[in-house]
Amino acid sequence: MNEQSQATQKILNFDCELSLEELDNEPPLSPLQPVSEEEAVQIIADPPLPPVSFTLQDYVDHSETLQKLVLLGVDLSKIEKHPDAANLLLRLDFEKDIKQVLLFLKDVGIKDNQLGTFLTKNYAIFFEDLENLKTRVAYLQSKNFSKTDITQMVKNAPFLLNFSVERLDNRLGFFQKELELSVKKTRDLVVRLPRLLTGSLEPVKENMKVYRLELGFKHNEIQHMITKIPKMLTANKRKLTETFDYVHNVMSIPHHLIVRFPQVFNTRLFKIKERHLFLTYLGRAEYNPAKPNYISLDKLVSVPDEIFCEEIANASVQDFEKFLKTL
């Protein structure tokens, strides 16, 4: 019998308790016995039992641990979507289980105003052995990641320290070997995109094939692009191929110019299309650096509309907006 049932049973036993003499004097009851209208009116139904709570908010007033987590900025509504985790969290003692982890995170470099966001995403860190966490930080230090590097990586990839030293070492080895990068470039790559150490390798492997086999880039060209734009390793395959197809086959921009400005893969395709079509309409769509009025991919995709119109298209923003309405 669970606690809710036991509490309910005690209430019922208390309310219905009668002496043996009183029981002897009570007439026998039958579920089929008719009830008069007068008796029916006087019947008061017991209120329904409260449902079992599925929200941690109901426990905050009774839990010092939850109260302090809320003060830190932890969003309990997101944690309670995982019932098993929520139940485990309720069993933790703040002084014994949580305080030392908070001090560790602050020592790593997570600021007070960042703890809430971090712990909302990675509440599982409370269930990690503290010595294991320290060992993983020591491993990163042994690989010449600076304190600033480690802080940035942990902040941007909250689950990083949940992974074993063996896993971290294997991942660093994979990127260094697969991309044929130097130790320093490998380190710089994962500092900029630490999710490479925590996420699935399948998108990375798939994208490497796409760049080489489908899009026709050489290995050294791929190296150059991903060290400038690490997100290219995990980008959506369809987005990559559609962007390349438009830039290379419609705008007639060769591989070597795309390699110089890989930011184009980090730009929404509709933005590239709108600007290219406007420049074509104006007769200014020139992407050959050997010709007058050359427009680099970098300028095409990186500047805001005002600068694009005034400095590149030699038109007003109003003219650009009117043109877009014709598309």
At 228, is the secondary structure helix, strand, or coil? helix
- Contact between 285 and 292 under an 8 Å Cβ cutoff? The reply is no
Q: Encode pLDDT of 168-196 as tens digits.
A: 999 999 999 999 999 999 999 999 999 99
Give which of 252, 227, 122 is closest to 175, Cα–Cα. Answer: 227
Task: pLDDT band for 78, please (50, 70, 90 cuts).
Answer: confident
- Most confident region among 5-19, 28-42, 65-79, 243-257 by mean pLDDT: 243-257
What's the pLDDT at 217? 97
- Most confident region among 45-54, 71-80, 91-100, 143-152 by mean pLDDT: 143-152
Residue 107 vs residue 71, higher pLDDT:
107
Distance of CA 96 to the CA centre of its chain: 29
State the residue for tokens 């260094």. Answer: 176
- Contact between 156 and 110 under an 8 Å Cβ cutoff? The reply is no
Instruction: Report whether pLDDT(41) > 70.
Output: no
What's the pLDDT at 76? 86
Instruction: Report whether pLDDT(122) > 60.
Output: yes
**Going by C-beta distance under 8 Å and a sequence separation of 6 or more, which residues neighbour residue 76?**
55, 56, 57, 60, 66, 69, 70
What's the pLDDT at 67? 85
**Separation between Cα atoms, residue 67 and residue 325, nearest integer Å:** 53
Residue 37 vs residue 323, higher pLDDT:
323
Q: Encode pLDDT of 207-236 as tens digits.
A: 999 999 999 999 999 999 999 999 999 999
Average pLDDT for residues 137-162, to the nearest whole number? 97
Instruction: Report whether pLDDT(39) > 80.
Output: no
Q: Locate all alpha helices (DSSP H) within 229-268, ordered by sequence.
A: 237-244, 255-260
What's the pLDDT at 88? 80
Lowest mean pLDDT segment, chosen from 30-39, 45-54, 63-72, 171-180 = 45-54
What's the pLDDT at 252? 96
Task: pLDDT band for 30, please (50, 70, 90 cuts).
Answer: very low
Q: What percent of the chain has pLDDT over 90?
A: 70
**Going by C-beta distance under 8 Å and a sequence separation of 6 or more, which residues neighbour residue 95?**
none
Give which of 245, 288, 284, 286 is closest to 265, Cα–Cα. Answer: 245
Lowest mean pLDDT segment, chosen from 10-19, 21-30, 189-198, 283-292 = 10-19
- Contact between 292 and 307 under an 8 Å Cβ cutoff? The reply is no
In angstroms and rounded to an integer, the radius of gyration of the C-alpha atoms of the chain is 32
Average per-residue pLDDT for the chain: 85
Lowest mean pLDDT segment, chosen from 77-91, 194-208, 237-251 = 77-91
**Separation between Cα atoms, residue 106 and residue 155, nearest integer Å:** 11
Residue 115 burial by Cβ neighbours in a 10 Å radius (0-12, 13-18, 19+): middle
At 282, is the secondary structure helix, strand, or coil? helix
Give which of 81, 11, 23 is closest to 47, Cα–Cα. Answer: 11
Average pLDDT for residues 46-72, to the nearest whole number? 64
Lowest mean pLDDT segment, chosen from 41-45, 248-252, 277-281 = 41-45
Instruction: Report whether pLDDT(22) > 60.
Output: no
**Separation between Cα atoms, residue 101 and residue 124, nearest integer Å:** 11
Amino acid at 222: I
